[in-house]
Structure 1
Amino acid sequence: MDANLLITYEPTHKGSSEEEVKALLEEVGKDVKIVDSKTDGIFLATVDKPK
């Protein structure tokens, strides 16, 4: 998977952070696929037509 967004989050709130990112991107009409990176505090995501 080729990620086109790098998202940082507070490592102690991983679950709620992932839910918040998905909800916000879906709110603006983006279908998002999030992959956990090997680094705490960073999600890698893929969306169509990122700006």
Structure 2
Amino acid sequence: MGNQQNPQQGQQNPQQGQQNQQNQKDQQRQGQQQQQDQNQKGERNQQGGQQEEEE
């Protein structure tokens, strides 16, 4: 029984893997956006909002 459950979980894993890859891309984008936002806040303080024009 345990051995039979493993292949089923194995089949579910690649589906989750594909979702994870998409999520990772989204998370990377979100992570980059957060970093950009942090950088923009820092550069806005220094440059006085020049980066808003670049957007």
Higher strand share: 1
Greater RCO (Cα-Cα under 8 Å, separation 6 or more): 1
TM over 0.5: no
Q: What TM-score comes out, normalization by structure 2 length?
A: 0.33
> Greater Rg, structure 1 or structure 2?
2
